[in-house]
Structure 1
Amino acid sequence: MRITVVCVGKIKEKYFTMGIEEYSKRLSRYCKLDIIELPDEKTPDNASAAEELQIKKKEGERILKSVKDGAYVIALAIEGKMLTSEELSEKIEALGVNGDSHIVFIIGGSLGLDAEVLKRADYKLSFSKMTFPHQMMRMVLLEQVYRGYRIMKGEPYHK
């Protein structure tokens, strides 16, 4: 199984970088992991709705260029479906069984995802109704994918 995480924006905090590196290392036992980090657009203070749409569109175009044909795309979106860790594990396992050997998770920038990205997504996943920093979500996503593989393999993992 190949997992790609396409994300907008750099990780600035060392503690997030360390967590991402740790879960990337742990995941290497279970899948091939690629992280594609795309530049974010600068959002001016007091940006208008039209400016915000334009920023999301630019970031969305970069995201879509990074998604390979044939990949199963899961967009992280607040309006997506919330799953338990066990349900995410089952989803990843079912995709592999059904021949979807490449899953792309997409994490947008600070303004969220462009409508075209959401339209391309095969599935929309929400971790909460709350908003989280996109840097934090990269680490949380990797931890949950790792947890999912541990569950799938029947290996112990803290609950």
Structure 2
Amino acid sequence: MSEKSDNFVKYIIEICQNSGTASILKNSVRESMEIRAWEFLVGFGINIEFETDRKAYLLIASEIAKNKISTNGLLNLGEAIAKCYPPDSTAASSKIRRILSCQDTDELIMVLPSILSLINSKGLKLDYVNLLDCLLWFNFEDSQKKTKLRWANSFYKKDFADE
């Protein structure tokens, strides 16, 4: 986990205490609305000229604002998807396969909102710091492979203590 991602998540949680700011950030993933959120990214030190990074930060900010997140969670994406469904669910397998088939950050950012919505609707506490780090490094081949392996491992891992 990077310190910058950790500080960003804390910053967004803090500024979302203001309902006006939270309202702006909720809709910041919409292209027509993202301009209103730029001041918060730049205020944190994000170079908004880098589109993929900007969209990654906006996605995380939007999810935190929409779901009124007050603390960062502990679940990585694979584990959170697994917890949304009963064991051996074909719907869960379909979701993780879709995530694992993403070839770049832009595609992943396009696919994630509906999955994040599902995770939050189940009351699961996602690790947004980890997810942001994953998004920021996903375009680098080695990092992408490690991220996919980590998500797959945590998704498919069985808890043998319960059996």
Q: TM-score, normalised by structure 2?
A: 0.32
Q: Which has the higher contact order (CA 8 A, sep 6+)?
A: 1
More helix by share: 2
Higher strand share: 1
TM-score normalized with structure 1 length = 0.33
